[in-house]
Structure 1
Amino acid sequence: MERYKDLLAQKEQLEKLIAEARKKEAAAELERVRESVAEFGFTPEDIFSRRHRNAGLPVAPKYRNPETGETWSGRGRTPHWIKDQDLERFRIKE
């Protein structure tokens, strides 16, 4: 049983050392990030934005149904009128 208690004490000591090292390294890394932000003028949106600049903007249609005039950009679900058919037949010529 003595060995178990020794190991727990070692674990506690290691956890303290780990916490101290993490705190020290995190502070140094945060300072490096702050310097980069100041140097390059980054904004919070530059750093934390997950969206692409063009995300959500409509895309020009690439295919047109000659019978109804419906269009499809080539993204998302394939419309029923073009499914299992030659796409070139419906391609909009530019």
Structure 2
Amino acid sequence: MTTSYAELKAQIAELEKQASQAREAEIANAKNQIREIMQAYSLTIADLAGPAKVSKPRKAVPAKYRDTSTGEEWTGRGRAPKWLDGKNRADYLIK
């Protein structure tokens, strides 16, 4: 005996409804367990996050090269600026 497409779709809809209900029940149970553990150990949400990561501010890198005609500077990091293309970098070193 074969099952029709409409019957299969109805079964899928019923199973999705059951799955949704089961998920909601499991989530409610998990929340209750978490709440009980947090109360037993006097934990807060902040305790769960752990210590905040403190990042140090980055220091500005001093310029290493300067175009004397325009005053533009370059740190020597990353792509070289257009004003330095084809030129001797040593001539533009900041002393």
Instruction: Calculate the TM-score normalised by the size of structure 2.
Output: 0.49
Task: Select the structure of larger CA radius of gyration.
Answer: 2
Instruction: Calculate the TM-score normalised by the size of structure 1.
Output: 0.50
